[in-house]
Each structure stands twice: as C-alpha cells, then as structure tokens.
Amino acid sequence: MLEDKVIQFCAPTLARIKIGGMFGYSYCSQEKLKVELAIINNKLNRKGVVVVVLHDNGKRALLYVFRPDMLFMRLSECCVSKLMHNFGYESCDVTGALQRLIYRISICGSFPHEVGIFLGYPVDDVAGFINHCGNNCKACGQWKVYGDVEYAKNLFAKYKRCEKIYMKRFKIDGDIAKLTVCA
C-alpha cells in the first residue's frame, strides 16, 4: 500500500527529476507504519531516496520522500539560503533543515510557505507565493507560478508524464526499487 502511494505521488523523485514529494498516508497502527517505512527505506535508501515522517496525528502521517543530495544542493543555493534564513533555517544541513521543517509544520498547523523549496519548486514561485500571500499568480498547476510560466508548465507536463509512466510500469512489474534511478 505504501509503495503504491510513493509511486503515485513521488514518481518524479524516484526518477531523479524532482527533489521530493509529500503526501498524507493513513495507517491502522503506528507499529505497522514503522514496519512499512523500514521496508521501503531499505529498498530506496541504496538508490539515494529517503522516506521520513514530517507529521503524525496517530492515524495519518505526512510523509516526505526525497533525495538528500538534491535537497542539499538546493539548500546551498544563495537565493534559497537567504529565503530560508527568514524562516529560521540556519544552514544547508539537510538533517537540520528537516528538523526545522518538522517544527514549522507543528507550529503552523498546516504547510509553512517555504515547503515549496523542499519539493523543488522554483525559488521565484516560492518567494512570489510568500510575498503575494498566494494571490495574483501568473499560472496555477502543481503549484502557483509567479516566475517563469513556460518553465513551470513544462515541469508540470514532465511530472505528469513521469507519473503516468511509473504507475503503468509499477502495475506491470511491482518493483519500486527497479523504478528508482540511482543517485
């Protein structure tokens, strides 16, 4: 069940064309969730992909599937680092950034605006969303676009194609590790 959701919501991350993806995952027991997470991380970690829990209310967990190397590179970008510093992110350290994100999710009660950086959204779009409070975007797709519309539309299409291909291949083969591109 968890593998199906990872394929459905995070195929571009598995394909190494996106930093990460997030989704809510309902489960029947925390013990079962821990086992599922251990199994999927055992399959994906050796390919450079990690699955972590960002929030858990006891019945549903917010999962983040990501590539630590890509996230580190993103957090190291000067314009990203400046933006993230405004929200208390002190370095490009992936572990520290994830801890800060988990804290921010817990105090915000929803997604903090900088979450787009963790998902690989263009920094202009993340900053635009923050500066315009989510209003006055140029286009809307998997995120609200404030910067380069054509670039964003191309990414939307690329992600959709990837999702379709991965869903189809996973139904045939059922092996998430084979579908995951190595780091």
Query: Does residue 28 lie within any of the structural domains?
Result: yes
Query: Does residue 59 lie within any of the structural domains?
Result: yes
Query: Does residue 179 lie within any of the structural domains?
Result: no
Q: Are 145 and 138 in contact (CB under 8 A)?
A: yes
What pLDDT does residue 1 have? 86
| Spatial distance between the Cα atoms of 80 and 97, rounded to a whole number of angstroms | 12
Query: Does residue 8 lie within any of the structural domains?
Result: yes
Number of domains in the chain: 1
Q: Annotate 59-127 with DSSP letters as a single string.
A: SEEEEEEE-HHHHHHHHHSHHHHHHHHTTT--SS-HHHHHHHHHHHHHHHSS--TTHHHHHT--HHHHH
- 175: DSSP letter: -
Whole-model pTM above 0.85? yes
Angle at 11 between CA 6 and CA 16, to 5 degrees: 120
Query: Does residue 143 lie within any of the structural domains?
Result: yes
| Spatial distance between the Cα atoms of 157 and 52, rounded to a whole number of angstroms | 27
What pLDDT does residue 109 have? 73
Query: Does residue 182 lie within any of the structural domains?
Result: no
State which residues form the domain around 89.
Answer: 2-171
Query: Does residue 176 lie within any of the structural domains?
Result: no
| Spatial distance between the Cα atoms of 18 and 70, rounded to a whole number of angstroms | 8
Query: Does residue 78 lie within any of the structural domains?
Result: yes
Q: Could you tell me how many helices (H) and strands (E) the chain has, helices first?
A: 9, 5
Average pLDDT per consecutive 10 residues, the chain (183 residues; last block may be shorter): 95 98 96 96 97 95 98 96 94 94 90 94 96 95 96 97 96 92 88
What pLDDT does residue 110 have? 77
